[in-house]
A and B are shown apart, each in its own frame.
Chain A
Amino acid sequence: MQYKTILLEKKQNIAKVTLNRPARLNALNPQLISELTTAIPELGKDPDVRAVVITGAGRGFCSGGDFKGDADSLAAGQNPATRHPEDSRNRIRGYTLGVCYALQTLQVPTIAMVNGVAVGLGFDVALACDMRVGSENARFMVGWTRRGIVPAGGTVWLLPRIIGLGRALELIYTGRFMDANEAERVGLLNKKVATTELEAETMELASTIAHGPTTALRLDKLNTYKGLNMDYPTMLEYLAICQAGIAQKTDDFQEASRAFIEKREPVFKGR
């Protein structure tokens, strides 16, 4: 499929998805939503993709839903006065499930390379990634609150699990900006780096992960998120099955064992 609003590059087992509407600070409109909805699941089906980086073109990461009101925006063809609530609900589900949920449940480690402002749905997209590396220009805001509505893309579920209840509620209630320094301090950014270093540092992290034992890492991702809703003994049961049934049956496990005995670095193929 030819994409018009995203750039998709795959190199050395890393897939990089760039939201590409820089004139609108990569705001999400029906076309961008549709292309992400198609592209994201495809990444999960490609066994060569062992790490995913999501970023934005230009100076913004993603400014959220495009509400400019013109033909290119989310408001296109909509008359709020006559829109049935059920239609609204389904439109919302279209982008929250198609983009945020699909991204969060992608069975590959994901990194948001936060090059600038991440607001509203854009903040949700950053949160739907497992990790976030940002430049000094990274800024986060729960834009929904300023619009008098609720954060529909998952902030309420993901943010407390990343930075704790107290800070999450503060950001949600106030709709204030959190800059890169504060974001790094509270763990919202795994790392904050100089703007000139953002790409190199993010790709280095992605590369480390792409060289890892991908099967084990996919299971780790699944178990980490599932484990949040599970008690410890149940988690251990899951882990025993993952370990014995899958991880210990991989070529990468054999390679790791050999490498250990031969006192060298393992070379993981991801199988």
Chain B
Amino acid sequence: MAYQHILLKKENHIATLTLNRPESLNALAGTMNAEIAAAIQDVASDSDMRVLVLTGAGRAFCAGGDFKGGKGTAASLASRRRQPAELAKAVRSYTQGIALSLQNLEIPTIAMVNGVAAGAGFDIALACDMRIGCENSRFRVAWTLRGLTTAFGTTWFLPRLVGVGVAAELIFTARIVDAQEALQLRILNRQVPSSDLESETLALASQIAKGPPLALRLSKQNIYKGLEVDLDTALAFLASAQSQLFMTDDFVEATKAFQEKREPVFKGQ
């Protein structure tokens, strides 16, 4: 599929998905949503990919839904003539196609937050496992300013990151969180100078890409599932995952490398 509003690069087991409507601060609109969904599907079914980096072209990460108007934009939803059921279906298709499929991606994901992440843009950054930012990173629950609720899941992600009290404040006030506060609140894992953002993110992605892919996929799954179940159930899942991993070439390789006092070379099988 030829993409018009995004860029997808695959290199050294790392997939980089760049939102590419810089003139609109990478606001989500119409066909762009479908392209993002397709790109995520592509990465999901490519067993060679071990890490996904998500970022934005230009000075913004993603300013959210496009409210400027016109066909396929969020503003078209403002028409009261559409029935709630129809609207719900439209909202679900956006959210599930992007946020849910992003969060469900089995490989580790990193949001490289080069600038403002607002509204759906904040949701998408949160749907990634980790976030690296720079001094230009800014976050805002912009949905509130539009009289809306956080349809892509900030109400689910944010309390789990920053606690209920802070999440409630950020959602209710829609205030801007700058990079420094985001780091302190642990919304950002790391903050680096903007000139180093790409190289630092690549370094992290490369480090992860060198890891045991199957073990990392199962660990990721168990992190999120573990939030929902008690420890007993989590341990049962983990025992099953471990028994799979004991049978992998990568486990054998790791054991050999340890004995031979060298770095393991993981193949993902």
Whether A131 touches B168, Cβ cut-off 8 Å, given contacts A219-B149, A223-B149, is yes
Q: How far is the CA of A233 from the CA of B146 in the complex (A)?
A: 24
Whether A162 touches B78, Cβ cut-off 8 Å, given contacts A213-B144, A220-B171, A232-B100, is no
Q: How far is the CA of A266 from the CA of B146 in the complex (A)?
A: 8
Which chain A positions have C-beta within 8 A of B165? 130-132, 162, 187-188, 190
Q: Does A237 contact B (CB under 8 A)?
A: yes
Q: How far is the CA of A245 from the CA of B91 in the complex (A)?
A: 11
Q: Are B163 and A220 in contact (CB under 8 A)?
A: no
Q: Does A174 contact B (CB under 8 A)?
A: no
- B142-160 interface with A by 8 A CB criterion: 143-153, 155-156, 158-159
Identify B169's interface contact among A131, A216, A230, A260, CB under 8 A: A131
Write out, one digit per residue, whether chain A residues 243-271 have a CB within 8 A of any chain B CB (1) or not (0).
Answer: 11101111011111100110000101000
Q: Are A130 and B168 in contact (CB under 8 A)?
A: yes
Q: How far is the CA of A268 from the CA of B92 in the complex (A)?
A: 26
- Stretch in B29-37, B41-49, B82-90 touching the partner: B82-90
Which chain A positions have C-beta within 8 A of B262? none
Q: Are A227 and B144 in contact (CB under 8 A)?
A: no
Q: Does A173 contact B (CB under 8 A)?
A: no
Beta-carbon nearest neighbor of B157 in chain A: A232
Count, chain B residues at interface, CB 8 A: 51
Q: Are A240 and B95 in contact (CB under 8 A)?
A: yes
Which chain A positions have C-beta within 8 A of B147? 213, 215-216, 247, 250, 252-256, 266, 268
Q: Are B100 and A233 in contact (CB under 8 A)?
A: yes
Whether A243 touches B69, Cβ cut-off 8 Å, given contacts A164-B163, A254-B78, is no
Q: Are A224 and B91 in contact (CB under 8 A)?
A: no
**Chain B interface mostly helix, strand, loop or mixed?**
helix
Write out, one digit per residue, whether chain B residues 158-195 have a CB within 8 A of any chain A CB (1) or not (0).
Answer: 11001111111101111100000000010000000000
How near does chain A come to B224, taking the closest CB pair, in angstroms? Answer: 7
Which chain A positions have C-beta within 8 A of B77? 248
Write out, one digit per residue, whether chain A residues 175-209 have a CB within 8 A of any chain B CB (1) or not (0).
Answer: 00000000000011010000000000000010011
Q: Does A231 contact B (CB under 8 A)?
A: yes
Q: Are B155 and A227 in contact (CB under 8 A)?
A: yes
Q: Does B96 contact A (CB under 8 A)?
A: yes
Q: How far is the CA of A251 from the CA of B80 in the complex (A)?
A: 10
Which chain A positions have C-beta within 8 A of B251? none
Which chain A positions have C-beta within 8 A of B164? 130, 158, 161-162, 224-225, 228
Count, chain A residues at interface, CB 8 A: 56
Which chain A positions have C-beta within 8 A of B156? 223, 227, 230, 232, 235-236
Which chain A positions have C-beta within 8 A of B162? 187
Beta-carbon nearest neighbor of B173 in chain A: A208
Q: Are B173 and A209 in contact (CB under 8 A)?
A: yes
Identify B163's interface contact among A162, A208, A242, A256, CB under 8 A: A162
Q: Are B168 and A236 in contact (CB under 8 A)?
A: no
Q: Does B230 contact A (CB under 8 A)?
A: no
Q: Does B103 contact A (CB under 8 A)?
A: yes
Q: Does A150 contact B (CB under 8 A)?
A: no
Beta-carbon nearest neighbor of A254 in chain B: B78
- B74-119 interface with A by 8 A CB criterion: 75, 77-78, 80, 84-92, 95-96, 99-100, 103
How near does chain B come to A11, taking the closest CB pair, in angstroms? Answer: 19
Q: Are A245 and B172 in contact (CB under 8 A)?
A: no
Q: Are B168 and A109 in contact (CB under 8 A)?
A: yes
Identify A253's interface contact among B91, B96, B148, B151, CB under 8 A: B148
Which chain A positions have C-beta within 8 A of B185? 187
**CB within 8 Å of B: which residues of A?**
109, 130-132, 158, 161-164, 187-188, 190, 205, 208-209, 212-213, 215-217, 219-221, 223-225, 227-228, 230-233, 235-237, 239-245, 247-250, 252-257, 260-261, 266, 268
**CB within 8 Å of A: which residues of B?**
67, 69, 75, 77-78, 80, 84-92, 95-96, 99-100, 103, 143-153, 155-156, 158-159, 162-169, 171-175, 185, 224, 228
Known: A224-B171, A244-B91. 12 other contacts (CB 8 A): A130-B165, A205-B169, A224-B159, A224-B168, A232-B156, A239-B149, A240-B91, A243-B149, A244-B89, A247-B149, A253-B147, A256-B147
A-B contact pairs, 20 of them (CB 8 A): A187-B166, A190-B169, A205-B169, A213-B146, A216-B143, A217-B144, A224-B164, A224-B167, A227-B156, A232-B156, A232-B224, A233-B100, A239-B150, A240-B88, A240-B95, A241-B88, A243-B88, A244-B89, A257-B67, A266-B145
